[in-house]
């Protein structure tokens, strides 16, 4: 499902030199597999997710998702591929404030080539326990509810891969487990591969596979 | 979810800023609409009024003044023409006038009175029977009304606006007031309304048309007769029924100037004692028409049945006309007539269409273009306001745009959303401005009418207003381009990594 080989990514610094952020020899995730990726702050977790999602382009290396080398796609092609194949749950939910819960989910469906399936959007929200909050805007929802909407939105296009960037970091302790369960159950039900980034041991302990980016990323090891 | 809905949600999200920028656009559009409608309706009204005949003939002077005064009932008349000059346009008995072979219809106009500020025109029934207006439309009367008849001297037809504003109806009587402007002038004998014209959209809606024969019989409307002739006539009647009459030679021997330039002859020195001289007209008529004195006692009772039957027409030598509307046999005859008359010393002939066209080109168009430029500038400024508003919001929305991109929206999609926001704000403001502009036109209608004589209302539209729609879309696209490009260039990774 996901294969990264010799992927390197660096950013230009003010003095003109480049700062290596990612240097990963190989990283694989099988279809439907759920794994946790741990690492300290600044070890390149978010950049890795951006490279996998096609939001950022690697300097070199292979990034293959569902058999497609997304590094070879144009920007427009990557945008469309992302919409069709990759779900993304952000640490800060990133719901659009002017849109209702239902509209936020529909928004996730709006950029694919297919039709907007409102019935599925409603079912997803019902599945995450927000069937009666469809028309509520984010400001009217609790933090935990907002993250549940974000999960529903990420699942809207039946992705093959779900990227979750510390999805419980801004959720209170009482609701953290609910969110983890929701993400994992949703992926299991729809056979979606999951890469969940976390720095919380209580979260990572629940996964049978836990990779440490500190060790995986040579740019960090050699820094 | 459509891009339009996404754009609308973004506008809603910034309700206050959106409302204010939309309102500024509405103000600009309202002003443009008001100027366009006012200009269009005025131009249309002037063109309508100038149709139906070839020439307006009047005393030598300003052609514009002649046309404005005769066709549009604006400004004061120049001077009067002798009645004999009018007769050159018609055939009397078997004797055709000098211009008659080239003329299809000639309508005399006699001015000098008003009714509640509306101009009273002494004319002939042919005005409504034989002339058309606005390119082939015939004059029509409201149900129950008819044209006045030549033999019924004290009958009148009134325009639609006059009927509406004065409340006069068929069967009512009114007394014209001496002078062209509303005031405390002498009230004349009453005329009976026999017809109300259906609205024409021309200045004739604002006038009252009385039988010219009745007009001539009114106080101070007869031209003084030659001294010798008047003395003879007076001699014959001084012992008759003219108890209030002064000697005719008393009038004829003095230089008399009209109170109002161009109106039928006035007798200034009579103003001080009107009451004594309320039968002057009858006297003057009698002075020239020996057989008319037997009716003097009935002249000023407003019994029109008797009135019409007992009056004799004013002799031609005591008549004048203010202007003549001429429908020539054809366009060539019209041009030949115009040239011939203008080469003479007595009169001038003006083509109303040409005069008004020149007037609009030289004066009105210039002012309109200046006004339109100013109002279009206001719209552009409003458009800049929309651009600034959206552009300033981009910093706050950078993360939202990045989220949309992360969800799969392409750069073109976010660019389109921002452009649509700009277009929606412009069109929304434009629609509000369209309504506001017409409301403004409706409110200012009475002022425009007072100034130009043109009736203008809320529901009047001009085709140029349609240009506003594509115009606003183009403007909005231009103004939305800068913020849209800012959205287009959003660095998604950087925006997502930034703290919310």
pLDDT at B500: 61
Query: Which single residue is written with the structure tokens 């009217």?
Result: A140
- Going by pLDDT thresholds of 50, 70 and 90, the confidence category of residue B403 is very high
- Going by pLDDT thresholds of 50, 70 and 90, the confidence category of residue A199 is confident
% pLDDT > 90, chain B: 37
- Mean pLDDT, chain B, as a whole number? 79
> Residue B406 is nearest to which of A75, A88, A110, comparing CB atoms?
A88
Range among B16-30, B48-62, B309-323 with highest mean pLDDT value? B16-30
- Going by pLDDT thresholds of 50, 70 and 90, the confidence category of residue B450 is low
Residue of A22, A47, A49, A79 to mutate for B, most B C-beta atoms under 10 A: A79
Which residues neighbour B483 within 8 Å (Cβ) at sequence distance 6 or greater? B387, B390, B391, B393, B394, B418, B422
Does B408 sit within 8 Å of A55, measured CB to CB? no
Where in chain A are the domains? 2-221
Residue B262 predicted with pLDDT over 80: no
Residue B6 predicted with pLDDT over 50: yes
| A125 Rama sector, left if φ>0, alpha if ψ -120 to 50, beta otherwise | alpha
Tell me the average pLDDT across B171-193. 85
Cα distances (Å, whole numbers) of residue B223 to B96, B214, B258, B287: 25, 14, 10, 11
Tell me the average pLDDT across B248-274. 37
Give contacts of A135 with chain B, Cβ < 8 Å: none
Over the stretch B334-357, which tens digit does the pLDDT of each residue have? 999 999 999 988 899 999 888 888
The larger pLDDT score, comparing residue B371 to residue A165, is at A165
pLDDT at B226: 60
How many whole angstroms separate alpha carbon B439 and alpha carbon B453?
19
pLDDT at B453: 59
Structure tokens belonging to residue B384: 């800049």
Residue B489 predicted with pLDDT over 80: yes
Quick one: chain B helix, strand, coil %, rounded to 5? 55, 15, 30
pLDDT at B245: 31
Residue B430 predicted with pLDDT over 50: yes
Residue of A47, A48, A94, A162 to mutate for B, most B C-beta atoms under 10 A: A94
Does A76 sit within 8 Å of B412, measured CB to CB? yes
Structure tokens belonging to residue A40: 């300290």
Q: How far is CA A137 from the centre of its chain?
A: 22
Does A97 sit within 8 Å of B404, measured CB to CB? no
Residue of B2, B397, B403 to mutate for A, most A C-beta atoms under 10 A: B403
How many whole angstroms separate alpha carbon B16 and alpha carbon B22?
10
Residue A210 predicted with pLDDT over 50: yes
How many whole angstroms separate alpha carbon A146 and alpha carbon A138?
6
Torsion of CA B368, B369, B371, B377, to 10 degrees: 160
pLDDT at B42: 75
How many whole angstroms separate alpha carbon A31 and alpha carbon B322?
101
Does A80 sit within 8 Å of B9, measured CB to CB? no
Tell me the average pLDDT across B82-95. 88
Over the stretch B209-249, which tens digit does the pLDDT of each residue have? 999 999 988 877 777 766 544 444 443 333 333 333 333 33
pLDDT at B375: 82
List of E strands, B313-444: 320-321, 323-328, 347-350
pLDDT at A151: 92
pLDDT at B374: 85
List of E strands, B116-154: 118-123, 132-133, 137-138
Give contacts of A108 with chain B, Cβ < 8 Å: 407-408
The larger pLDDT score, comparing residue B367 to residue B157, is at B157
B interface toward A at CB cutoff 8 Å? 1-2, 6, 9-10, 12-13, 399-400, 403-413, 492-493, 496-497, 500
Range among A47-56, B64-73, B92-101, B377-386 with highest mean pLDDT value? A47-56
- Going by pLDDT thresholds of 50, 70 and 90, the confidence category of residue B499 is low
Residue B287 predicted with pLDDT over 70: no
What does CATH list as the number for A2-221? 3.40.50.300
How many whole angstroms separate alpha carbon B266 and alpha carbon B222?
8
Over the stretch B156-171, which tens digit does the pLDDT of each residue have? 999 998 998 899 999 9
pLDDT at A119: 93
Residue A84 predicted with pLDDT over 50: yes
| Helices B3-13 and B411-452, axial angle in degrees (round to 10) | 70
Over the stretch B103-134, which tens digit does the pLDDT of each residue have? 999 999 999 889 998 999 999 999 999 998 87
Give contacts of A98 with chain B, Cβ < 8 Å: 9-10, 12-13
- The predicted complex's ipTM stands at 0.90
Q: How far is CA B44 from the centre of its chain?
A: 10
Residue A110 predicted with pLDDT over 80: yes
Determine contact, residues B348/B59, Cβ cutoff 8 Å. Answer: yes
pLDDT at B193: 95
Does B404 sit within 8 Å of A90, measured CB to CB? no
Give contacts of B408 with chain A, Cβ < 8 Å: 79-80, 82-84, 108, 111-112, 157
Where in chain B are the domains? 3-47+359-497, 55-350
């Amino acid at each position: 499902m996901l294969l990264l080989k010799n992927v390197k990514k660096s950013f230009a610094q003010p003095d003109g030199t480049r700062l290596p952020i990612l240097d990963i020899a190989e990283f694989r995730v099988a279809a439907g597999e759920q794994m946790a990726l741990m690492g300290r702050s600044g070890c390149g977790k978010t950049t890795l997710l951006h490279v996998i999602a096609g939001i950022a382009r690697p300097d070199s290396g292979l990034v293959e998702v569902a058999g497609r080398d997304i590094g070879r796609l144009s920007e427009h092609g990557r945008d469309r591929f992302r919409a069709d194949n990759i779900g993304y749950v952000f640490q800060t939910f990133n719901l659009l404030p002017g849109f209702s819960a239902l509209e936020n989910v529909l928004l996730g469906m709006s950029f694919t080539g297919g039709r907007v399936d409102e019935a599925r959007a409603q079912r997803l929200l019902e599945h995450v326990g927000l069937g009666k909050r469809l028309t509520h805007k984010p400001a009217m929802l609790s933090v935990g509810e907002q993250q549940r909407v974000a999960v529903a939105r990420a699942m809207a296009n039946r992705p093959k891969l779900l990227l979750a960037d510390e999805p419980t970091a801004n959720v209170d302790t009482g609701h953290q487990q609910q969110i983890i369960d929701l993400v994992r159950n949703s992926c299991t039900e729809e056979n979606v591969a999951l890469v969940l980034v976390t720095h919380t041991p209580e979260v990572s302990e629940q996964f049978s596979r836990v990779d440490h980016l500190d060790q995986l990323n040579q740019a960090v090891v050699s820094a | 979810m459509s891009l339009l809905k996404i754009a609308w949600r973004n506008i809603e999200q910034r309700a206050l800023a959106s409302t204010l920028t939309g309102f500024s656009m509405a103000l600009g559009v309202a002003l443009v609409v008001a100027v366009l409608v006012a200009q269009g309706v005025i131009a249309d009204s002037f063109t309508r009024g100038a149709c139906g005949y070839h020439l307006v003939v009047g005393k030598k002077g300003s052609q514009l003044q002649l046309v404005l005064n005769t066709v549009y009932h604006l400004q004061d008349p120049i001077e009067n023409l002798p009645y004999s000059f009018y007769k050159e346009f018609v055939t009397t008995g078997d004797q055709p006038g000098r211009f008659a072979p080239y003329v299809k219809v000639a309508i005399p106009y006699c001015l000098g009175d008003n009714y509640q500020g509306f101009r009273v025109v002494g004319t002939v029934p042919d005005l409504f029977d034989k002339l058309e207006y606005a390119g082939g439309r015939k004059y029509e009367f409201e149900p129950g009304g008819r044209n006045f008849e030549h033999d019924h001297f004290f009958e009148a037809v009134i325009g639609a606006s006059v009927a509406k504003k004065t409340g006069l109806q068929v069967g009512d009587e009114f007394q014209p007031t001496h002078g062209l402007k509303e005031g405390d002038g002498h009230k004349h004998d009453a005329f009976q309304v026999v017809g109300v014209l259906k609205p024409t959209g021309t200045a004739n809606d604002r006038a009252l048309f009385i039988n010219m024969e009745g007009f001539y019989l009114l106080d101070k409307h007869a031209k003084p007769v030659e001294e010798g002739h008047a003395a003879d006539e007076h001699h014959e009647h001084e012992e008759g029924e003219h108890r209030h009459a002064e000697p005719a030679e008393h009038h004829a021997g003095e230089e008399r100037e009209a109170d109002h330039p161009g109106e039928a002859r006035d007798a200034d020195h009579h103003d001080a004692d009107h009451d004594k001289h309320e039968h002057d007209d009858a006297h003057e008529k009698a002075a020239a028409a020996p057989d008319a004195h037997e009716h003097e006692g009935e002249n000023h009772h407003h019994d029109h049945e008797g009135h019409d039957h007992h009056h004799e027409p004013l002799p031609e030598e005591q008549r004048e006309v203010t202007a003549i509307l001429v429908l020539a046999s054809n366009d060539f005859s019209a041009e030949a007539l115009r040239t011939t008359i203008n080469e003479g010393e007595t009169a001038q002939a003006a083509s109303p269409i040409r005069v008004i066209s020149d007037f609009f080109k030289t004066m009105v168009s210039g002012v309109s273009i200046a006004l339109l430029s100013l109002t279009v500038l206001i719209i552009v400024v409003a458009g800049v306001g929309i651009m600034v508003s959206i552009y300033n919001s981009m910093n706050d929305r950078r993360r939202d745009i990045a989220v949309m991109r992360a969800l799969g929206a392409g750069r073109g999609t976010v660019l389109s959303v921002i452009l649509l926001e700009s277009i929606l704000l412009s069109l929304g403001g434009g629609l509000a401005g369209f309504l506001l502009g017409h409301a403004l036109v409706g409110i200012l209608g009475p002022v425009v009418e007072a100034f130009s004589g043109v009736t203008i209302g809320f529901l009047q539209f001009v085709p140029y207003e349609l240009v506003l729609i594509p115009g606003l879309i183009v403007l909005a696209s231009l103004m939305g381009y800068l913020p849209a490009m800012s959205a287009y260039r959003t660095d998604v990774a950087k925006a997502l990594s930034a703290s919310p």
